[in-house]
Every structure is written in C-alpha cells, then in structure tokens.
C-alpha cells in the first residue's frame, strides 16, 4: 500500500475520465472558468492557459483548453497572443492590459472552434480535437452552432 500523505496532491484537481468530447466546428457561447500562467516549453516565455466552458446549447458544460502565448521570443507569436488576450478583455469589458484575470471569469463571450486531426503519440491512431480559432461577441442562440452530428469520445492527448 502506498502512503500518499505529504505528497502535495491538489484537493481541487478536476477528475480526469481519460476521454473528451470533440465538438462540431462552429460558433459557441462560452465563458472563461479557469486559467494558469505557465512557462513555455523552452522556458523563455509565458503561456496563459485558459479553460473555456460552453454555456449554451447542446454542448453546454463542455470545457476546452486554449494556450495563449503572451510572452514569446518570437515577436509574431507574442503579438498574436497578446492580441488574443486583448480581444478577450474587450469582449468581457475589461481594460487592457488587465492587472489580473479575475474580471474575465464567467463573462459570456463567443468562441469559434475548429476540429483538428492529429496522430496519437501513444497509439499511432489518427484522432480529432478542438482548437479555438477566435474569440468574439457572445452569439445569440440562433447564431450558435447546434448540431445533431454524433459526438465522438476520444482518448485525451494530454492531461490538464
């Protein structure tokens, strides 16, 4: 039996089922529900990792993760990342640059997502995942993507 006391497990970590839902491409009403500032993989920049939850329609409750380069040695990547954060701030009515992200949480905005194909590094199978293409005003119900397509359960490529 393994003793896990003193390991430092996070009591607030989200449960991982090992699968995720691939949403159909389209526009959705959503809000930011969590974030974390991380070093990029090279250790020479910062990435704002945001959790974005669908808040309307058939897929309400689904959560997507977006990775926003806010500090990067590549000026184009940094400009795109900071421009994305500025767009989110504008959609949430928060002055840019924000002192923190508290004012962004829970405010409705629109996201446009696409479906990307990738090859699993563990199974070699081709899988699909979602990527947020852009942020904008929260769509009305008639503008939001509502699809009757079957939803595919797919093994997660990486954990949060």
Task: Determine the structural domain holding residue 35 and report its residue range.
Answer: 21-142
Domain contains 138 = yes
Domain contains 82 = yes
Total number of domains constituting the chain: 1
Domain contains 44 = yes
User: Which value, to the nearest 10 degrees, does the dihedral of the CA atoms of residues 35, 16, 111, 152 take?
Assistant: 170
Nearest-angstrom CA–CA distance, 153 and 123? 15
Domain contains 110 = yes
Domain contains 14 = no
**Tens place of pLDDT per residue across the chain (160 aa):** 667 787 787 888 777 766 778 999 999 999 999 999 999 999 999 999 999 999 999 999 999 999 999 999 999 999 999 999 999 999 999 999 999 999 999 999 999 999 999 998 989 999 999 999 999 999 876 555 543 343 444 334 433 3
Domain contains 117 = yes
Kindly report the pTM of this predicted structure.
0.77
């Amino acid at each position: 039996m393994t003793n896990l006391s003193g390991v430092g497990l996070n009591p607030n970590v989200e449960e991982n089922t090992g699968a995720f839902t691939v949403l159909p491409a389209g526009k959705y009403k959503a809000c930011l529900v969590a974030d974390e500032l991380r070093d990029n993989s090279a250790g020479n920049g910062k990435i704002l990792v945001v959790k974005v939850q669908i808040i309307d329609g058939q897929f309400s409750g689904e959560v997507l993760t977006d990775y926003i380069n806010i500090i990067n040695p590549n000026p184009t990547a940094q400009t795109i990342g900071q421009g994305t954060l500025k767009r989110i701030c504008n959609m949430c009515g928060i002055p840019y640059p924000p002192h923190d992200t508290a004012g962004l949480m829970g405010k409705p905005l629109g996201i446009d997502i696409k479906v990307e194909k990738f090859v699993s590094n563990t199974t070699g199978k081709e899988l699909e995942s979602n990527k947020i293409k852009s942020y904008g005003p929260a769509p009305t119900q008639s503008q939001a993507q509502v699809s009757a397509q079957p939803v595919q359960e797919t093994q997660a490529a990486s954990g949060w």
